[in-house]
Amino acid sequence: MNETRRRQFLVAAGTLLAAPLVWSQAPERVRKIGMILTLARKGVEDLVQAFESGMRDHGWVNGKNLAIEYRFAEGKLDRIPTLAKELQKLDVELIVTGTNPLTVAARDATSGIPIVAAIATDVISKGLAASLARPGGRITGITWDVGADVYAKRLELLKEAAPSVSRVAILFDPIYEGSPDAVRGGIERAAGALRVSLVWPEVSDDVDAMFAAILRDRADAVYLVGGARTYGLRARLAESALKHRLPMICHASQQVDAGGLMSFSPSALRSFRDVARHVDKILKGAKPGELPIEQPTRFELAINLKTARALGLTIPQSVLLRADRVIE
């Protein structure tokens, strides 16, 4: 065999040997998970994007090696069991939820599917976990239990930013808030020390009715405690508070972006991004009952100076220096 033919033979042989390696490569398996959120998608798109960003950080890309089946309850809690059952029929490997009503409804409507909550509250007393360190069941995730001291701190910050405040309307929705004793205990303790009186109007989807009640009660400020309902109404609440010249402290910085005066809380966006860690571990074989439920470790103070100016407030420098984010 001359040199030219020998080279041709070696090239052909190499091609034949290499080809089966290429042909035998199996396509990457696509993993299917579900997510149920309380509001319409347009009200929580930022949370959806934060979660998908967190998944990409762990190598999971929706539409590539991951398929996320989204379900949105459009504010109707009675729809959640049906949505959860839909996801079970689709054979999702796990379900991501937000607040407690979602998590409880998803647990009760399904069997065997791990559930990862991004904003859980009061998980032990609600029977969602045996302990934070070792949940023991099929639910894990991140808790938003901020404790009585944080509820008190919010009222203190509101009073420091707006010293003339003397009567505060507390918008507290027990459907979504998992720790009512901590809420009332923290706020009432701070109110007594600050000599601020409190009113507790009923929370509903009717913003005009809520503010009519707030004005009847002669409140001169508003305190949003938490929950999906007021999160979804953030733009309308901020608009009404400004219209009636009521400083409003919020439970999420997105409400400050929408026009609320200030907030002091963990970051909802960070929770939805960080909960991807739990999802990644479960997809790789971890059992949810063995994954510790994480607690918030960082609280952000956000202040909207544009709103402050519209209200005629000058935020003290002592408060501004503590802010993590200032909206000009």
Tell me, what's the pLDDT at 5?
55
Q: What angle do helix axes 100-109 and 80-89 make, rounded to 10 degrees? A: 50
Q: What angle do CA 57, 61, 63 make, to 5 degrees?
A: 165
Tell me, what's the pLDDT at 16?
43
- Tokens at residue 128, please? 């969602």
Whether residue 278 is found in the same domain as residue 314: no
Position 146, amino acid: V
Q: Residue 19 and residue 25: Cα distance in Å, rounded?
A: 10
In this structure, what are the phi and psi dihedrals at residue 141, rounded to the nearest 5 degrees? Answer: 140, -140
Whether residue 313 is found in the same domain as residue 198: yes
Tell me, what's the pLDDT at 292?
97
In this structure, what are the phi and psi dihedrals at residue 7, rounded to the nearest 5 degrees? Answer: -65, -40
Q: Which residues contact 275 (CB under 8 A, 6 or more apart)?
A: 51, 54, 96, 116, 117, 118, 141, 142
Tell me, what's the pLDDT at 184?
86
Q: Residue 82 and residue 96: Cα distance in Å, rounded?
A: 15
Find the mean pLDDT for residues 70-75. Answer: 93
Residue 217 CB burial class (10 angstroms; 0-12, 13-18, ≥19): middle
Find the mean pLDDT for residues 287-291. Answer: 96
Whether residue 154 is found in the same domain as residue 139: no
As for how many domains the chain has, the answer is 2
How much helix, strand and coil, in percent to the nearest 5, is found in the chain?
Answer: 45, 15, 35
- pTM given for the model: 0.81
Whether residue 189 is found in the same domain as residue 246: yes
Whether residue 174 is found in the same domain as residue 321: yes
Residue span of the structural domain in which 245 resides: 148-265+299-327
Whether residue 90 is found in the same domain as residue 132: yes
Find the mean pLDDT for residues 60-77. Answer: 95
Whether residue 140 is found in the same domain as residue 152: no
Q: Residue 61 and residue 59: Cα distance in Å, rounded?
A: 6
Tell me, what's the pLDDT at 6?
53
Find the mean pLDDT for residues 90-99. Answer: 95
Whether residue 315 is found in the same domain as residue 203: yes
Residue 127 lies in a domain: yes
Residue 1 lies in a domain: no
Residue 138 lies in a domain: yes
Tell me, what's the pLDDT at 23?
46
Find the mean pLDDT for residues 101-122. Answer: 92
Residue 162 lies in a domain: yes
Q: Reply yes or no on whether the pLDDT at 26 is more than 60.
A: no
What CA–CA distances, in Å, run from 318 to 66, 161, 235, 314, 321? 47, 9, 28, 11, 5
Task: Label the pairing between strands 31-37 and 95-97.
Answer: parallel
CATH number at residue 84: 3.40.50.2300
Q: Residue 31 and residue 84: Cα distance in Å, rounded?
A: 18
Tell me, what's the pLDDT at 22?
46
Tell me, what's the pLDDT at 178?
57
Whether residue 61 is found in the same domain as residue 125: yes
On average, the pLDDT of the chain sits at 89
Find the mean pLDDT for residues 110-121. Answer: 94
Residue 61 lies in a domain: yes
Find the mean pLDDT for residues 145-165. Answer: 91
pLDDT (tens digit, 9 = 90+) per residue, 132-151?
999 999 999 999 877 778 88
Find the mean pLDDT for residues 186-194. Answer: 94
Whether residue 170 is found in the same domain as residue 205: yes
Whether residue 75 is found in the same domain as residue 206: no
Tell me, what's the pLDDT at 227?
79
